[in-house]
Amino acid sequence: MAKRHRVLIGGEWVGDNRSEINVTNPYDDSIVGVVPEATDEDVELAIVAARRGYQEISSFPAFRRSEILARASDLIVRDREEIAEIIAREAGKTWKYALAEADRSAETFRFASLEARNEHGELVPMDASPVSAGRFGFYLRTPIGVIGAITPFNFPLNLVAHKVAPAIAAGNSLVLKPATKTPLTSIKLAELLTEAGLPPGVLNVVVGSGKTVGNRLVADDRLAMITFTGSPAVGAEIKARSGLKRVTLELGSNSPTIIDEDADVNAAVSRCVVGSFANSGQVCISVQRIFVHRRRYDEFLSKFVAATKMLKVGDPMDRDSDIGPMISRVELERAVSWLDEAKTLGAVVETGGGVIGNCLEPTILSGVTPEMKVVCSEVFAPIVSVLPYDTFEQALEMADDSVYGLQAGVYTRDIGKAFQAVKRLDVGGVIINDIPTFRVDHMPYGGNKQSGLGREGVRYAMEEMTNIKLVCINL
CB 353 within 8 A of CB 361: yes
User: Which among 37, 115, 119, 250 is annotated as catalytic?
Assistant: 250
- Secondary structure (H, E, C), 189-216: HHHHHHHCCCCCCCEEECCCCHHHHHHH
Backbone φ and ψ of 116, nearest 5°: -60, -35
Tell me how far apart the alpha carbons of residues 137 and 117 are, in angstroms, rounded to a whole number.
22
Q: Which amino acid is at 176?
A: L
121, 293, 469, 475 from 133: Cα distances, Å: 20, 59, 20, 9
Whether 191 is a known active-site residue: answer no
CB 368 within 8 A of CB 375: yes
Tell me how far apart the alpha carbons of residues 172 and 184 are, in angstroms, rounded to a whole number.
23
User: Which among 37, 115, 284, 359 is annotated as catalytic?
Assistant: 284
Whether 284 is a known active-site residue: answer yes
Tell me how far apart the alpha carbons of residues 218 and 223 are, in angstroms, rounded to a whole number.
8
Tell me how far apart the alpha carbons of residues 56 and 52 are, in angstroms, rounded to a whole number.
7
Full DSSP string of 14-29? E-TTS-EEEEE-TTT-
Dihedral sign for Cα 263, 267, 273, 275, please: negative
Strand pairing category for 146-150 and 173-177: parallel
Residue positions counted in the chain: 475
169-186 residues labelled b (16+ CB within 10 A) or e (exposed):
bbbbbbbbbbbbbbbbbb
Strand pairing category for 289-293 and 256-259: parallel
**β-bridge mates for residue 33, sequence order:** 23
Tell me how far apart the alpha carbons of residues 275 and 288 are, in angstroms, rounded to a whole number.
9
CB 183 within 8 A of CB 157: no
Tell me how far apart the alpha carbons of residues 394 and 396 are, in angstroms, rounded to a whole number.
5
Tell me how far apart the alpha carbons of residues 387 and 402 are, in angstroms, rounded to a whole number.
15
438: number of Cβ within 10 Å:
16
Residues 6 or more apart in contact with residue 289 via CB below 8 angstroms: 254, 255, 256, 257, 375, 384, 385, 387, 398, 399
**β-bridge mates for residue 124, sequence order:** 137
Residues labelled catalytic: 250, 284
